[in-house]
Chains A and B, each alone.
Chain A
Amino acid sequence: MNKIKCAIIGSGNIGTDLMYKLQRSPLLEPVWMVGIDPASDGLAKARQHGLKTTDQGVDGLVPHVRTDNVQIAFDATSAYVHKDNSDKLNALGVLMIDLTPAAIGPYCVPPVNLKAHTGKREMNVNMVTCGGQATIPMVYAVSRVQKVAYGEIVATVASKSVGPGTRKNIDEFTRTTAGAVEKVGGAAKGKAIIVINPAEPPLMMRDTIHCLTEAPPRQDEITRSVHEMIAEVQKYVPGYRLVNGPVFDGNRVTTFVEVAGLGDYLPKYAGNLDIMTAAATRTAEMFAEEIRAGRFKLEAAA
C-alpha cells in the first residue's frame, strides 16, 4: 500500500533530523523539504536524499501540494510563523503536525494521549516542546496514580542542540510546556524551566520532573508507574533513561531522566531533538493509519 506523502517545513536541526526518521517509516514518505535559506545544510541533505526542496518558504510548496499529493506536513520553523504556514496548508487539506511551541492545535504527547486524538479529525496537532515530550510522560506517571497539585519540569539541553528559533522565543517554550504539564500531564498547576548548557563535550539532555502530590505519595504505585512509563517512551526513544528517582520527600516526587538521541542528524547528546521528531513521527503514523483505513478523510478548509 502506498505510503502517505509528507512535507517538512523548516530545514534546521529538527526538520533535518525528522527527515531521517520519516524515511525509515513504513507508513510515511517525506517528499518535500521547505526552507528559506538556499545555502541551508538541511536543504542540501534533503536533495541528497531525493526530496524536492524550495527555499521560498511555504509559498514555494503550495503550488505542488496537489500534484505531489502531500497529505501531512510537519512544521519545524518557529512559533512566530506557524499559524501562517498552517492556514495555507490546511486550506489545501493538508494535516499539520506542529513541532513549534505555537500550540494552536491540541497537544499530543504520544505515550500519554495519542489514542485520544484518533477519530477527532483534527487538522492541526501540536507536539508541545522537546522538554514537554521528555517530561510530561513522567508527570502523567504520577498523576495517573494520584492527584498532582503542582508539576514542575526542568529541561537542560546542550547549547549546540538549541536552534535559533527556540532562542529567539524562549518564552514560548516555557509557556507552552507549562500549559501541557497541566493539560496533558494532569498537574493542577504547571511550571517549566529551561537551562542551556554549553559544556564541551556537549551534555546529554537531562530532565528533572518535580510533582507535588495532594495527599502523601503512594510510593510503591508511583515507582511502578514511573518504570512502566519509561518503558513506554523507550519504545520510540530507546535512549530515554531513568537516572535517579523517583525520590520521595514529603509530598514531593522527583524523577531524573536522561534522553540520548539516535544520532540521526545531530549527535546523540541532542536527545531533545530526537524525542521531538520521534514523537512527531509516531503521531503522524497514527494519522497515516487512519487515512489509509479510510477513517480520516482530509478535506480542504472552507
Chain B
Amino acid sequence: MNLKGIQIKVHDMSLRDGMHPKRHQITIEQMKSIARGLDASGVPLIEVTHGDGLGGASVNYGFPAASDEEYLRAVIPLLQHAKVSALLLPGIGTVDHLKMAADCGVTTIRVATHCTEADVSEQHISLGRKMGLDTVGFLMMAHMIEPEQILAQAQLMESYGANCIYVTDSAGYMLPDDVSARVRLLRERLKPETELGFHGHHNLSMGIANSLAAVEAGARRIDCACGGMGAGAGNTPMEVFVAVCNRMGIETGVDVFKISDVAEDLVTPIMDFPVRIDRNSLTLGYAGVYSSFLLFAKRAEQKYGVSAREILLELGRQKMVGGQEDMIEDTALTMARERGLLKAGTA
C-alpha cells in the first residue's frame, strides 16, 4: 500500500465519542485540558458534545456533567489552531441546537443518520451549509447495507449541501475490504469536490487497518480518538494511527510524541475502566451492534441477571439501530421474564 505524500485531516473523537465510556461525565476542566493538549499536538479538528450529539442530554442516553453549550463555550476560546465540530442526530437534536453550536464558534457540523435514512437530514444539512459551516453527512452503521445503497444515501446528503460524507462503522464490524468497497464507490460517483471520511471503532482491532483502507480508497478525513477513548472498544486510537501514518508517509500534521503524551497523561487517567476489547465490546464488533449500547447492556446485566453478551446478541438479531438505547432495558426485561428471573410484581 503506497500512500506516501497523501495529506489527511485527523478528527479527534475523545471528547464526544469518548463521552460514552465516561457516561457523559467528562468535566469541563478535563475537556479543557485534553482539548489544549490536542491543539498543541497539531490535531486540526476536535469534536465536542454529548456522546449522542447535540441535545443528547436525556434519561435515555444519560445526562451529562455539563450542557453542550457549557462545554463548547469553555473549550473553543482556548484553542490556538484547532477547530471544533459538533455532532447532531436528527430526531434527537434540532436546528436550534445547530444554531446554538454555531453561535459558540463551532465551524464543522456533522449531521448523522442511520445509513438508510439520509432524508431526515435535509433540514439540518441545508441549514449548516447556508450558515457557511463545514457540513458533513455522517452515515452510521454503514456495514448494514451494500455499497450501492450507501451511495444513494450519500448522494441525498450531497444534494442537501453536505461538502463531506462519512462512512461510519458504528459497530466496529467492518473489515478492510468492506471499507474499501464503500469508500471507493463514493469516491467514483460523488462530486470530486465532495470530501470523504471514515469513522471506525476498534471492536475487532480493525481501527488502524480500516482507516488505512479508507485513505487508500479516497477518504481524506479520518476520525480517531486520543487514547482510543470512544464507545465500545473505542475509536481508532489517534496516537497509534498518527505513528503508522508517519511510517507510511501519510501527512497528518500531528506530533506523534505530543499526542501520545496527551493519551497517556490526560486521557487514560480519566477513564472509569480500560476502554479495550473485552468479551462484550468484541461481541459488538462480531455481531454488528451499535457501540454505544455497551454500558447499557452491562448495567442491564447487573440489574436483570441476563448476560450483556446475550442482550447484545439479541439486539443485533432484532437489527436495532443507533438511538434505540431504550430497547436494551426492554430486551433485558423480556429475556429475564422468559427465564423466570423477574421477581413477582416486577413488570
Contact = CB atoms under 8 A, between A and B. Distances in A.
Interface residues of B, number: 31
Interface in B281-324: 318-324
Given A195-B323, A199-B318, A247-B329, A170 B58 contact: no
A235 B220 CA distance: 56
Given A150-B59, A197-B321, A245-B347, 6 more contacts: A167-B119, A170-B123, A191-B58, A194-B91, A196-B117, A256-B326
Interface residues of A, number: 35
A108 B193 CA distance: 48
A4 to B, nearest CB: 36
A210 B59 contact: yes
B133 to A, nearest CB: 17
Given A156-B327, A243-B334, A171 B94 contact: yes
A89 interface: no
A174 B94 contact: yes
18 contacts: A156-B324, A168-B119, A169-B123, A174-B91, A195-B321, A197-B319, A197-B321, A198-B116, A199-B318, A206-B327, A208-B330, A212-B59, A243-B330, A243-B334, A244-B347, A246-B347, A247-B346, A256-B333
A196 B59 contact: no
Interface of A: 150, 152, 154, 156, 159, 164, 167-171, 173-175, 191, 193-199, 203, 206, 208, 210, 212, 243-247, 252, 254, 256
Contacts of B347: 244-247
A194 B321 CA distance: 12
A159 B116 contact: yes
A113 B323 CA distance: 30
B65 interface: no
B147 interface: no
A171, A252, A254, A256, most chain B CB atoms within 10 A: A171
Nearest to A169: B123
Contacts of A170: 90-91, 120, 123
A175 B318 contact: no
B114 A210 contact: no
Nearest to A200: B319
B324 A168 contact: no
